[in-house]
A and B are shown apart, each in its own frame.
Chain A
Amino acid sequence: MPAVEFRDVSFTRPGGLRVLDRFNIAVEPGEVVALVGRSGAGKSTLLKLINRLLEPDSGDVIVEGRSTRDWEPIQLRRRVGYVLQDVGLFPHMTIAGNVGVVPRLERWTAERTDARVGELLDLIGLDRRTFANRWPDELSGGQRQRVGVARALAVDPPILLMDEPFGALDPITRVELHAEFRRIQDRVKKTVLIVTHDMREAFALAARIGVLDGGELIAFDRPERLSSSADGRVTRLLQS
């Protein structure tokens, strides 16, 4: 059973622009999938349909065998970690506070939350004694991005959605974080959907890459097979 599946999903933006048109894709458990396409191709919309920040006009988004329409949204969102482009760390909470938000919402005990926060800070390579009580505005962009990942992993959700997670970083930090991501993914083995407009990033991170164009999935394959694709639209995107 796929972890996440889109069946004939169509979605129209409030302005009337159709961003997805009878869209289909299936992502297997533990698989890292990158979705690439030009900006405005509907990549972010796709992620928001998975955690039900948006609902499809028609068709079904199926998470762990159940349509998102049948999921209780709060429960669904606790099963799906979400890392935003702008990170969205809470500026009025410390790093430990940010990472521990969802555990506290889940009514974990303070000891269990603290232990989990420490474990996650270790995982993302931030020293827990130095960073736990710092504030988001005292961190570099790369460090904030890692905290965003730690926060999304806090209650160990099986699925992780990442929306341009490294987009705002300088090229060197980005490459560092790519390595970091692969190391973390080797340990946690989540089902990961990454949205990016950067082909190199997709190649660096994903086992399979989906190419979006005009609201459709025009290619969905392993990186090495994608580079030998004969489809003109795909090769144009690869070269850009």
Chain B
Amino acid sequence: MTRLLTFWVSHRAELAGLLAQHVLLVSVSTLIAVAIGVPLGIFAARRPRLSAPIIGLANVVQTVPSLAMFGFLLPVPLVGGVGARAAIVVLILYGLLPIVRTTITGITGIDPAIREAGVAMGMTSGELLRLVELPLALPSIAAGIRVAAVVGVGSATIAAAIGAGGLGEYIYRGLSMVDSTVILAGAVPAALLALVVDGGLLWVERQLSTRRRATSRQAVRAAAAVVLVVMAVSIVAAAGRSSAAIVVGSKNFTEQVILGELVAQTIERDTGLTVQRRLNLGGTLICDRALLTGDIDVYVEYTGTALTAVFHRPVTNSPDVAYGDVREQYARTGRTLLPPLGFDNTFAILVRGKDARSLGLKTIDDVARVAPRWQAGFGYEFLERPDGYPGLAKAYGLQFAGKPHVMDLTLSYRALASGQVDLIAGDATAGLISALDLVQLVDNRHYFPPYAAAPVARAQTLLRYPQVRSALEHLGGKVTAADMRRLNYSADVEHKDIAQIVREFLTRKS
């Protein structure tokens, strides 16, 4: 509890910014969802035959997991990609269902005698809607808006996966650092925000359903004023963060966040340019896409990952061939691969130290004989990629007791240490390896391709800011595997603040 409070106090400016982004994401998307959903609901209410398909469609949309939705939208022009715009599109899609449904319920639930009275006194359908149907459906519609906004506060935490910011950034950062304090630092304000939004809109709803038009008008005005003020404050607060010259990205695990911070601080120190951090993006594909579209200017990639996952090139075992090939592929797509940082983060096949010692396991070959009795646990990426599990199993003739468990990469270390699984594929530079007494088995058949870490930047950005190029080149060879493991250890095990760790590291190096 004290750690959480200390974290908030020391990160208060960042916390305020993320909260503002969160509120902005939810309020903008909810307002647009209202602007689309209410007319759609009115339309559907008047054509009963259409209301079932419209509700059905909105239902289907809602069942798509939000991360999958971001994935679908990634390649879509205009609305897709990374950043707040794509997040808002997804949040709008989620908000539509409750709003459409309650609009339909509100309008179809009106006493037929009341509607007939309106028609019979010569109201046009527009007058009937404006004077009778909408006012009477308003409490119901307000309930839908409340649900949409509260769901939006929750869903918006996932927007951090595509770099839209918001309180989800702490949650992702905490997950990648396996640090519950940081997770709570984002989760608690998000939950409080949901409660506040729920309570506030419930109050508005109650005012509306008292059927007292004068007071309900005041309530609507008050609510609108609150929303506008909150949005204005949020825009000011969020805008303060986006005037940066250079945007640095990273994937969503500790080492990547550290490297992102390292690149960001290096640029800040050496060039004096303002840097915006979009760390914790949801994976290789998202980072690559963001770099292509210019949502980020630079992030650190691994040659082996770029070769196979980004460019779908054949696997090679030579570090130089891999680096050269990747640099050429990047150059063709307007991006520049800078000199390697100095360490290789290949996949590490890990077992418990206890098992390695008692069974005499040193190489991956050694595991083949015990594998049929063992359970393996792998991250999503390792299971799918060409240089991942399928090839590994073939190269070493591995056969486990069952299908490998799919688990989050960062959680798999603890799953291994606690005996839930017996073998995992981790990162060679993971700080948790020594902390949890895990042992890396030697890749004696040289199955894994080289994974030299190197910054990749937009060529345009480097042309515009040559000083960024020299700063990044200057980083070349500065980070050894031992350095990286120690940095990871400080973050993952000692739970130190990443910006602080990197600052100390850079001071020590220079």
Contacts and interface: CB of A to CB of B under 8 A. Distances in A.
A77 B120 CA distance: 6
Contact of B124 (A74, A76, A82): A74
A103 to B, nearest CB: 11
A212 to B, nearest CB: 21
Given A51-B120, A82-B117, A151-B121, A92 B213 contact: yes
B211 A92 contact: yes
B113 interface: yes
B121 A77 contact: yes
Most chain A CB within a 10 A radius of its CB, from B117, B121, B135, B212 = B121
B132 A90 contact: yes
A239 interface: no
Contacts, number: 66
Contacts of B117: 82, 84, 87-90
Nearest to B117: A88
B121 A84 contact: no
A101 B211 contact: no
Most chain A CB within a 10 A radius of its CB, from B111, B116, B135 = B116
Given A92-B211, A93-B213, A105 B113 contact: no
A88 B211 contact: no
B88 to A, nearest CB: 33
B355 interface: no
Contact of B116 (A74, A84, A102): A84
Given A92-B213, A93-B213, A101-B131, A87 B113 contact: yes
A31 interface: no
A135 interface: yes
A46 to B, nearest CB: 14
Interface string B419-459: 00000000000000000000000000000000000000000
A78 interface: yes
Interface residues of A, number: 29
Interface in B86-132: 111, 113-114, 116-124, 127, 131-132
Interface in A74-107: 74-78, 81-82, 84-94, 97, 101-102, 105
A89 B118 CA distance: 9
A1 interface: no
A93 B121 CA distance: 15
A172 interface: no
Contact of A102 (B114, B122, B135): B122
Contact of A90 (B114, B120, B212): B114
Contacts of B132: 90
A88 B120 CA distance: 11
A84 B113 contact: yes
B149 interface: no
A53 interface: yes
Contacts of A85: 113
A92 B97 CA distance: 27
Contact of B127 (A73, A75, A105, A151): A105
Contact of B114 (A75, A78, A88): A88
B136 interface: yes
A91 B114 contact: yes
A105 B125 CA distance: 12
B309 to A, nearest CB: 59
Nearest to A101: B121
Contacts of A88: 111, 113-114, 116-118
A105 B135 contact: no
B119 A53 contact: yes
Interface string A94-128: 10010001100100000000000000000000000
B298 to A, nearest CB: 58
Contact of A105 (B111, B123, B136, B212): B123
Contacts of A87: 113, 117
Nearest to B216: A92
A90 B136 CA distance: 9
Most chain B CB within a 10 A radius of its CB, from A84, A88, A97, A105 = A88
Most chain B CB within a 10 A radius of its CB, from A76, A92, A135 = A92
A170 B136 CA distance: 29
A74 B123 CA distance: 7
Contacts of A97: 213
A228 to B, nearest CB: 37
A92 B135 CA distance: 7
Contacts of B136: 90-92
A31 to B, nearest CB: 21
A135 B131 contact: no
A8 B119 CA distance: 26
Interface of A: 51, 53, 73-78, 81-82, 84-94, 97, 101-102, 105, 135, 137, 151-152
Give the 9 A-B CB pairs with smallest separation, nearest first. Answer: A88-B117, A77-B122, A86-B113, A88-B113, A82-B120, A78-B122, A74-B122, A92-B135, A88-B114
Interface of B: 111, 113-114, 116-124, 127, 131-132, 135-136, 211-213
Given A82-B121, A88-B114, 17 more contacts: A53-B119, A73-B122, A74-B122, A77-B121, A78-B122, A84-B113, A86-B113, A88-B113, A88-B117, A89-B117, A90-B118, A92-B213, A101-B121, A102-B122, A105-B127, A135-B211, A152-B121
16 contacts: A75-B122, A77-B119, A77-B121, A78-B121, A82-B121, A84-B113, A84-B120, A85-B113, A88-B111, A88-B117, A89-B114, A91-B114, A92-B211, A101-B131, A102-B121, A152-B121
